[in-house]
Amino acid sequence: MKNTFALLLVLVFIISASCKRNAGDVIENKVNDLLSEMTLDEKIGQMSQLDMGSFGGPENIKQAARDGRCGSVLNYLGTKEINELQKVAVEESRLGIPVLIGRDVIHGFRTVFPIPLGMAASWNPEIVKEAFRISAIEASSQGIRWSFAPMIDITWDPRWGRIAEGCGEDPFLASTLAKAMVEGFQGDSLSDPTALAACPKHYVGYGFSEGGRDYNTTYIPEPLLRNVVLKPFKAAKDAGAQTFMSAFNDLNGVPTSGNPFTLRTVLRDEWGFDGFVVSDWASIQELISHGFATDEKDAAAIAINAGVDMEMVTSCYYDNIKQLLDENKISQAQIDEAVRNILRVKFRLGLFDNPYADPEAEKTILNKSFLEHARTVARQSVVLLKNDNKTLPLSGEISSVAVIGPLADSPRDQMGTWCFDGDTAYSVTPLKAIRDVLGEKKVNYVAGLTYSRDKNTKGFNEAVRAAKKSDAIIYFGGEEWVLSGEGQSRGEINLPGAQSELIATLAETGKPLIIVLMAGRPLAIGNEMAASDAVMYAWHGGSMAGPALADLIFGKESPSGKLPVTFVKGSGQIPFYYYRNNTGRPAVPESWTHIDSIPKENPQTSLGYRSFHLDYGYAPLLPFGYGLSYTTFEYSNLTLSSDLMRESGSITVKATVKNTGDFDADEVVQLYIRDRVGSITRPIKELKGYKRIHLLKGEEAEVEFTLLPGDLAFFNGKVTATEPGEFDVWVGANSDEGLHDEFKFE
Ligand code: NOJ
């Protein structure tokens, strides 16, 4: 019986593998047939992506489609308009090749989810996957079949405005989320009309822009590149991502849109990627500003040789490919390969069979269940940073609250950066949601500051009056949407405007002070945390940020998010990330003397000579993985199935987690390891697993993780391998604490 079952399984596997192979062959044949009919001009057309604005509007784009000179467009919107364009491409161009419509659908289309950094704080790939599925359903209903996401640039610099768009600082967390995002976009079948081709970006290293200044140079040694930066991209490729976007930055002296090592050696040769690579906006032309190409012709040659298949917006390819071929600076085989890569994706998306969007599909947009999911994601993305004396949750019976702050009622700001299509009419603010819970009369609302950068304190008195007549103050502040995102980097990452003064003034009233911060980056908020009783970090939470926050404030659910990034004390502490090396002089608490305590005479005797700042000290404000709950969790019974792992083996790590408080809640249980000695230095902690569990009050559960030899492997400059030696393992609530054990790998 057992054998028959095993045989059946093998048969099913063989049949499904061979079906897949056949489907692949069918597509490959179609691609080659089409390619053999194409003129060089038509091939170059497929390699060009036109922007509606820069190309002079819809009529010009349609003409380009008619002429077969438009493989893809971006920033073209509307079901009717897109269908009309497709009709021109399919019916009026010589070969009828449909246009691939791309758009930046980064964290939702019309239903807006939290910014990706916020989604990452949920540590919940399932709900993130569903959010991306919903985004795909909404966007595809208008004929969009390709999104320039997920953005999975690891960054260790919160000054960088684009930290908002990514999944934070850690390669493991980002990899699990990258997989979820790709799977959500692409669905079960690429040819399903609701599937969007994913485009992991920005390949690669862009998040390491020096000084956090956008578009800046990056220097990333290969071990860091492979052990950290490339990890989420590999996960996205393995999840089936169909396209990649080459980035703006130069990497170790070679711009990434002209980098054969990352685009050919790693992506194609090592990973076997068979989709296509699009440049970022004008990043081929920008090879000239980089000082890497002499002119547009040179730039086109470099990008083609490096393996960029499609050019976004600029026309270096269109204007120069023919001449480059004549001069033998590029080959016909390279052009054919690029076009094959593009057509392959178009065939996989089913565009040739069904190029049009069904006008009926648009009806699903802003569906109630989509908004409800946005509320769930927003709720799970909120991180409780402080809750002295159980200030939160507030009772629904509270007689009055003061709602203060520039982001209490700012529908656009809460939707965050990279939000082209969100509808402010559907963006429910915290003020509205709190009024819905308590009724208008119990809510004393005064903005105090009109927007986040407002320095005018004239509204403070009224805010204080509102605070004094209320039982509690809830302050909603942070950053407006425009302070994070592309080109929106900051040198100081404090609360902008006069917000800190307003918070300090409110604290003087002595009323319980809750601050809720919505921002596109982790801000340096040490003083504000100290001044308040409770702090929730809500990122930019999207359309349903208000109701989600009200759910938490009034205890419908407990906060359960965990930080996907370290919070620093101030900009001068950057970079500070948990995944750091130990150094030869690791900081220990006893070694630190605060700058103000150094004696004038013989000052050197008080110094620890260790790795810290005299002013900031040795620790960040809050560690990666941190987040409180309305309940408490107790961790116990850490057990390892063995204290020895061998090449072909594995270790099971188990721990018991108990809800010891009086609130049903989720906890994100985290597993970290440390490779004690390596052929290159290894980080003091590496996340290797996490699980979100729900525990009723008093309930306990055993959480289990499996560690495999591959989980311990790293690139040491020559090879990727697991090195024999001793390993630490921790299971706990954040990167700074946890039950500890150890094992050996032989
Ligand atoms: C430039 C940005 O860097 C990229 O993320 C985006 O997808 C493109 N512009 C298209 O808008």
Nearest CA to ligand 1 atom 11: 104
What are the catalytic residues? 280
Place of tokens 């010009």: 60
Read off the pLDDT of each residue in 290-315 and give the average, rounded to a whole number.
98
Nearest CA to ligand 1 atom 10: 281
Do the Cβ atoms of 278 and 242 come closer than 8 Å? no
Shortest-distance atom of ligand 1 to CA 247: 3
Please write the tens of the pLDDT for every residue from 606-633: 999 999 999 999 999 999 999 999 999 9
* Ligand 1 centroid – CA 237 distance (Å): 19
Distances (CA, A) of 268 to 202, 271, 337, 569: 16, 6, 12, 41
Read off the pLDDT of each residue in 489-502 and give the average, rounded to a whole number.
98
Do the Cβ atoms of 341 and 27 come closer than 8 Å? no
* Ligand 1 centroid – CA 103 distance (Å): 9
Shortest-distance atom of ligand 1 to CA 202: 5
- State how far the Cα of 432 lies from the Cα of 252, in Å rounded to an integer: 50
Among 277, 278, 312, the mutation site with the greatest number of ligand 1 atoms within 8 A of its Cβ is 312
**Strand 383-387 vs strand 686-695: parallel, antiparallel, or unpaired?**
unpaired
Nearest CA to ligand 1 atom 9: 281
Read off the pLDDT of each residue in 191-204 and give the average, rounded to a whole number.
98
Q: What is the pLDDT of residue 19?
A: 57
Nearest CA to ligand 1 atom 3: 280
* Ligand 1 centroid – CA 280 distance (Å): 6
Check pLDDT > 60 for residue 2. no
Pocket of ligand 1 (CB under 6 A): 74, 104, 148, 201, 280-281, 486
Distances (CA, A) of 599 to 180, 223, 342, 594, 602: 54, 42, 68, 10, 7
Nearest CA to ligand 1 atom 4: 280
Check pLDDT > 80 for residue 14. no
Place 5 in a pLDDT band, splitting at 50, 70 and 90.
low
Check pLDDT > 90 for residue 553. yes
What one-character DSSP code corresponds to residue 44?
A: H
* Ligand 1 centroid – CA 352 distance (Å): 26
- State how far the Cα of 240 lies from the Cα of 20, in Å rounded to an integer: 13
Distances (CA, A) of 429 to 11, 215, 367, 550: 55, 33, 19, 10
* DSSP-assigned states of every residue in 46-63: HTEEEETTTTTSHHHHHH
* Ligand 1 centroid – CA 571 distance (Å): 26
Among 72, 100, 104, the mutation site with the greatest number of ligand 1 atoms within 8 A of its Cβ is 104
Cis-peptide into 150, omega within 30 deg? yes
Q: What is the pLDDT of residue 567?
A: 98
Q: What is the pLDDT of residue 20?
A: 62
Distances (CA, A) of 386 to 398, 406, 437, 689: 21, 21, 23, 25
* Ligand 1 centroid – CA 201 distance (Å): 9
Q: Mean pLDDT, the chain, as a whole number? A: 97
Place of tokens 């497709």: 86
Do the Cβ atoms of 376 and 545 come closer than 8 Å? no
Q: What is the pLDDT of residue 577?
A: 98
Nearest to 149, CA basis, from 195, 120, 173, 181: 181
Alpha helices in 169-263 (DSSP H): 171-186, 222-224, 231-238, 260
Q: What is the CA radius of gyration of the chain?
A: 27
Place 22 in a pLDDT band, splitting at 50, 70 and 90.
confident
Please write the tens of the pLDDT for every residue from 255-289: 999 999 999 999 999 999 999 999 999 999 999 99
Q: What is the pLDDT of residue 442?
A: 98
Three-state SS annotation for 504-561: HHHHCCCCCEEEEEECCCCCCCHHHHHHCCEEEECCCCCCCHHHHHHHHHCCCCCCCC
What one-character DSSP code corresponds to residue 225?
A: I
Check pLDDT > 80 for residue 8. no
Shortest-distance atom of ligand 1 to CA 148: 7
Tokens read off for 593 = 């003397």
- State how far the Cα of 37 lies from the Cα of 663, in Å rounded to an integer: 67
- State how far the Cα of 640 lies from the Cα of 719, in Å rounded to an integer: 29
Please write the tens of the pLDDT for every residue from 675-703: 999 999 999 999 999 999 999 999 999 99
Nearest CA to ligand 1 atom 1: 281
Among 245, 277, 283, the mutation site with the greatest number of ligand 1 atoms within 8 A of its Cβ is 245
H/E element holding 368?
helix 368-381
CA angle 707/711/712 to nearest 5° reads 105
Distances (CA, A) of 148 to 13, 242, 243, 418: 33, 11, 9, 11
* Ligand 1 centroid – CA 281 distance (Å): 6
Q: What is the pLDDT of residue 10?
A: 57
* Ligand 1 centroid – CA 282 distance (Å): 10
Shortest-distance atom of ligand 1 to CA 248: 3
Check pLDDT > 80 for residue 220. yes
* Ligand 1 centroid – CA 146 distance (Å): 13
- State how far the Cα of 557 lies from the Cα of 361, in Å rounded to an integer: 34
CA angle 595/621/572 to nearest 5° reads 55
Shortest-distance atom of ligand 1 to CA 102: 10
**Strand 72-74 vs strand 48-51: parallel, antiparallel, or unpaired?**
parallel
Among 185, 201, 488, the mutation site with the greatest number of ligand 1 atoms within 8 A of its Cβ is 201
Q: 536: which strand partners?
A: 384, 516
Nearest CA to ligand 1 atom 7: 148
